[in-house]
Chains A and B, each alone.
Chain A
Amino acid sequence: MDLSVTAEDEAFRAEVREWLAQNLRGEFEQLRGAGGSGREHEAIELRTEWEQALGAAGWIGLGLPQSVGGRGATLMQQVIFAEEYARADAPGRVNHMGEYLLAPTLVAFGSEELQRRFLPGVLKGEEMWCQGYSEPGAGSDLAGVRTKAVLKDGSWSIEGQKVWTSLAFHADWCFVIARTEPDSERHRGLSYLLVPMDQEGVDIRPIVQITGSSEFSEVFFDDARTEARYVVGEPGDGWRVAMGTLGFERGVATLAQQVGFQRELDQVIADARESGTVEDPQIAERLVQAWIELRVMRYQALRTLGTNEPAAASVSKLLWANWHRRLGELGIDVRGAAATVLPAEPYELTREQAVFLYTRADTIYAGSNEIQRNILAERVLGLPRG
């Protein structure tokens, strides 16, 4: 165990820092701090242009192999890029579904033809993606998917409904889990389809969420079409592909996320000083505890970086989701009664109000707390199924 950083890594860090300083200016300057969880609607057009600037400079798909157009960067370099990006307060990325979920899935399970068709769009920041997994009857229990797809006149015809689809209104494509074998049940007979969003058979209805804004939608498919060859893995093998997506390395993203968390915590500490609540021993203790836990999350991410075991992924998800939700509570507690009043009608939120409300989602999506505990208990600790 040696945690020191090499000279090459330092040079890479300098390169990233320099590029961000040179490029996050002019019209992009206003993007600092924009976007991210709960604020995905902010400046979305300009953030998409920024994504393309990143793509042109080769900063998208850092960890993907060079053979498919990625940069083949080491884990450490990916961490450095993500940390510097967060440190520069560069905007929330608009295509994380494409870069972190779809692209590695294509590399692991997609044919060369699909990789050639779809990876460049992600790597150049030109095609945005959304994730079509959840349905009204299939949330935690994804195998309950009922959206159907059948081959008709040489293309897939899709019928059904997805829900909670983040950034659907902004996406060009959706990766959809659909039932392609009639009468199949549970995790059998599913396929992983790539479906264009801009077509008559796709109807997107935004859902207003707890924050008053909408970043997710219901998506209705009524004879929506996609080409027969736009299926990742074999038809019927969609469950394995979808589960593979869940198993990808997440340590890099976790470490980057922590830079943003540190900034949020620093702000809460500053707020507590300003409001005087830092003098309250209980508030002081919660602030210190939050600081400690964030350090622990960093040590955890460093120790498990590069592993893709279910233990590491579930531990990390439980740690950060609970931490962030508690920070949301602490953030408004240090403000006291002042935190009950909004800055403006109809429902504009201060930063701490947004974090307080938005973080209720952190423990629900991407595998709820309860599902993560089931995974740890059954798959990691080996406790008997009930």
Chain B
Amino acid sequence: MEFTLNDEQRDLQQTLRGFVERHASGKVVRDAAERGEGFSAPVWVRLTGEMELTGLAIDPAHGGAGASFVEVGIALEELGRSLVPVPFLVTVTAAHALGGPDVDAERAAPLLERITGGCVATVSLGENSVRSTGARAGVTLNGQLDHVLDGPHAAFVIAAVEDDDGPALYGIDLAADGVVVEAQATMDQTRRQATIRLSDAPATLLTPAGDAGAAAVERAREILSVALACEAVGAAARCLEITVKYLGERVQFGRPIGSFQALKHRCADLFVALESARSTAAYASWVVDGAPQELPTVAPLSQLVCGEALLQIASESIQLHGGIGFTWEHDAHYFFKRAKSTELLSGGNRYLRRLVGQRAGII
């Protein structure tokens, strides 16, 4: 049993930490957020090009590095620290979903190769109005996908669609005829969404009918949950670091405000929440490949625990900063908006808690 990161994993963490600090934080994030795109193309090109980051866990047969989700989790956490405005989370979720055991490997292959080639992929796994028509080979889709994360910059989307014979995953090229991608203005400026309208849009059916299709859809959702958990840990860690630093510097009543015990104890509680989240995300990202039978409970659990930690830390961060924390100019609001938006998009924390309770056989 080995509980700590190995040397290679630590290297990956250090490399990314350095890259993000030098090239993908502060002004880069702010510019992307303010320009209304929530996307930094130069950062994306470097991450997918020289660093080959989106291919991390893709099979070498498709040009990837063949790592496990643990490595993906490390990368998500590091990018999460600065809410780096790149569609990494959705792209690796799509990649991991495409590499799943119930997905038609032959049909998934060209999509995986597009990802290792630097393409942006995204996922749309919630309920939607989309229906399929036509034979399996020449199938087309009609309907609408809402709240597609990073949809405005994506080349294709992996969507869950309720077919006559059960849930299925489809790959949809967003440049195809019959597809309209409409970018949304979002409260969280660091992660944009799109509404995608499909009218007789061509699509690739990726899963077999019946239970296997349902399993592939479920697994994709679980991977998305774990990915969000890992990212939340990075964001929460950095947000707490910024807050603690400020409390050590800001002087009122003749002393640093961080010397007041009322504030110290709140920070200690935030640290406990962060450590809990860190352990949970680490465990969950190991489970993805290491103990997939646990994924149905561990995935929503991890999203809940890590999402709540981020929301708690981000909201306390604003309070502990006072007036400056309420400004547009300070970064605190980015973390806060990301935390709440993510929770709402997942159906809410009560929904996640119920899901865990049902899957654990408690309720």
- A residues apposed to B, CB below 8 Å: 1-6, 9, 76, 269, 278, 284-285, 287-289, 291-292, 295-297, 299-300, 302-306, 311, 314-315, 318-319, 370, 372-374, 376-378, 380-386
Residues of B with C-beta under 8 A to A292:
301, 304-305, 353, 356
B148 to chain A, nearest CB (A): 29
- B residues apposed to A, CB below 8 Å: 1-6, 9, 70, 244, 247-248, 255-256, 258-261, 263-265, 267-269, 271-272, 275-276, 278-280, 282-283, 286, 290-291, 298, 301, 304-305, 350, 353-354, 356-357, 360, 362-363
Contact B356 A1 (CB under 8 A): no
Q: B70, B269, B282, B356: which contacts A373 (Cβ < 8 A)?
A: B269
Residue of A nearest to B2 (CB): A2
Given contacts A269-B362, A315-B275, A386-B260, contact A1 B357 (CB under 8 A): no
Q: A278, A306, A319, A384: which contacts B258 (Cβ < 8 A)?
A: A384
Contact A382 B248 (CB under 8 A): yes
Residues of A with C-beta under 8 A to B1:
2-6, 9, 76
Residue of B nearest to A377 (CB): B264
Q: B6, B255, B269: which contacts A384 (Cβ < 8 A)?
A: B255
Contact B256 A377 (CB under 8 A): no
Residue of B nearest to A287 (CB): B362
Residues of B with C-beta under 8 A to A383:
244, 247-248, 258-259, 263-264, 267
Given contacts A319-B276, A384-B256, contact A285 B350 (CB under 8 A): yes
Contact B357 A288 (CB under 8 A): yes
Contact A291 B362 (CB under 8 A): yes
How far does the alpha carbon of A285 sit from the alpha carbon of B248 in the complex, in Å?
Answer: 38
How far does the alpha carbon of A314 sit from the alpha carbon of B265 in the complex, in Å?
Answer: 13
Residues of B with C-beta under 8 A to A299:
276, 279-280, 282-283
Contact B357 A287 (CB under 8 A): yes
Residue of A nearest to B300 (CB): A292
How far does the alpha carbon of A118 sit from the alpha carbon of B362 in the complex, in Å?
Answer: 48
A62 to chain B, nearest CB (A): 16
Contact A3 B247 (CB under 8 A): no
B230 to chain A, nearest CB (A): 12
Residues of B with C-beta under 8 A to A386:
255, 259-261, 264
How far does the alpha carbon of A278 sit from the alpha carbon of B362 in the complex, in Å?
Answer: 9
A322 to chain B, nearest CB (A): 9
Residue of B nearest to A9 (CB): B1
How far does the alpha carbon of A304 sit from the alpha carbon of B290 in the complex, in Å?
Answer: 19
Which secondary structure dominates where chain B touches chain A? Answer: helix
Q: A6, A9, A285, A385: which contacts B259 (Cβ < 8 A)?
A: A385
Contact A318 B259 (CB under 8 A): no
How far does the alpha carbon of A380 sit from the alpha carbon of B269 in the complex, in Å?
Answer: 12
Residues of A with C-beta under 8 A to B304:
292
Contact A302 B283 (CB under 8 A): yes
Residues of B with C-beta under 8 A to A380:
271
Residues of A with C-beta under 8 A to B286:
1-3
How far does the alpha carbon of A319 sit from the alpha carbon of B290 in the complex, in Å?
Answer: 26
Q: A269, A289, A377: which contacts B265 (Cβ < 8 A)?
A: A377
Contact A381 B244 (CB under 8 A): yes
How far does the alpha carbon of A9 sit from the alpha carbon of B1 in the complex, in Å?
Answer: 9
Contact B279 A304 (CB under 8 A): yes
**Which residue, A2, A4, A378, has most C-beta atoms of chain B within 10 A?**
A2
20 A-B pairs in the complex with CB atoms less than 8 angstroms apart: A1-B2, A3-B2, A284-B357, A284-B363, A285-B353, A288-B353, A288-B354, A288-B362, A288-B363, A292-B304, A296-B276, A299-B279, A303-B3, A303-B279, A311-B271, A315-B272, A370-B265, A376-B267, A376-B271, A386-B264
Contact B275 A300 (CB under 8 A): yes
New A-B contacts (12) at CB < 8 Å, excluding given A2-B1, A381-B271: A4-B1, A288-B357, A288-B362, A299-B276, A303-B279, A315-B271, A370-B265, A377-B261, A377-B264, A377-B267, A383-B247, A383-B248
Contact A378 B264 (CB under 8 A): yes
Residue of B nearest to A385 (CB): B259
Residues of B with C-beta under 8 A to A1:
2-6, 9, 70, 282, 286
B339 to chain A, nearest CB (A): 18
Residues of A with C-beta under 8 A to B268:
314, 318, 372-374, 376-377, 381
Contact A3 B244 (CB under 8 A): no
Residue of B nearest to A305 (CB): B3
A83 to chain B, nearest CB (A): 13
Contact B3 A3 (CB under 8 A): yes
Q: A289, A300, A373: which contacts B264 (Cβ < 8 A)?
A: A373
Q: B9, B256, B261, B267: which contacts A381 (Cβ < 8 A)?
A: B267
Given contacts A1-B3, A315-B271, A372-B268, contact A303 B278 (CB under 8 A): yes
Contact B363 A287 (CB under 8 A): yes
Contact A302 B353 (CB under 8 A): no
Residues of B with C-beta under 8 A to A6:
1
